[in-house]
Amino acid sequence: MTIPWGLIVEGHGETDALPLLLRRLIPNDAFSNFVLHPPIRRPRSSLILPGDIENLVSILRRRIGRPGVILILLDTNGSLPCEDGPALFNRCKQAVSDIPISVVLANQEFECWFLGALESLRNIRGIREDVISFVNPESIRDAKGRLSNLMTGMRTYKPTVDQAALTAKFDIEVSRSRCPSLDKLIRDVNHLIQTEGEI
């Protein structure tokens, strides 16, 4: 029996990057047990409005059925993940209580995870060969802009062009050691794998 995964993201780049990241995180011997549905994209400004995320997870629940799991990945963009994450999770569970749900807020931006493992991205998508990782990447605002500054020539970072390619190559374990929000995503994914759609 395969378990469908329903995904919700906010950025255009994450529609390709999140499934790719999950493919790297889910062990090969377990991957065949899961089906990753194409992510639904919705701006964070909309999702935080009363009733919006509840409606979206309800729609997704009907789409994927049961058993199944829902994973939501958003950026914080300056808000506190320790406050907004649990609040959004509680709203989701009030709307859908019969399948596992995970809400992960990338602290600042998804791209902060790249800043935590820059050595693994040297000479990829225009990243300079002398870049050094940031010790505390999740403290950096405008990680997209910072990546542009680290690129050669006139290149600039474009999520729809570069995010999936960098996701395929960055050192997850190194970045995880510096990015608590990536560590949470990995722990949540492992938990969803272990539940196999059962609650």
Question: Could you give the angle at the alpha carbon of 41 between the alpha carbons of 40 and 46, nearest 5°?
Answer: 120
Please tell me the distance from the alpha carbon of residue 68 to that of residue 65, in angstroms, as a whole number.
6
Location of structure tokens 């991205």:
121
Taking the CA atoms of the chain, what radius of gyration do you get in angstroms?
17
Percent of the chain surpassing pLDDT 90: 79
pLDDT at position 81 is 77
pLDDT band at 195 (very low <50, low <70, confident <90, very high): confident
Higher pLDDT, 44 or 129: 129
With a cut of 80, say whether residue 15 has pLDDT above it: yes
pLDDT at position 93 is 95
Query: Between helices 14-25 and 180-195, what is the axis angle to 10°?
Result: 70
Which two three-digit tokens encode residue 137? 């990447």
Q: Topology of 3-107+179-195 in CATH?
A: Rossmann fold (3.40.50)
With a cut of 90, say whether residue 2 has pLDDT above it: no
pLDDT band at 197 (very low <50, low <70, confident <90, very high): low
Instruction: Tell me the average pLDDT across 46-69.
Output: 92
Closest CA to 108 of 152, 64, 78, 151: 78
pLDDT at position 150 is 97
With a cut of 70, say whether residue 199 has pLDDT above it: no
Instruction: Tell me the average pLDDT across 154-181.
Output: 97
Instruction: Tell me the average pLDDT across 116-141.
Output: 96
pLDDT at position 83 is 79
pLDDT at position 33 is 83
With a cut of 70, say whether residue 48 has pLDDT above it: yes
Q: For residue range 69-90, list pLDDT tens digits in order.
A: 999 999 987 777 777 889 999 9
pLDDT at position 198 is 60
**Domains in the chain: boundaries:** 3-107+179-195, 112-175
Instruction: Write the burial class of residue 5 (CB in 10 Å: 0-12 exposed, 13-18 middle, 19+ buried).
Output: buried
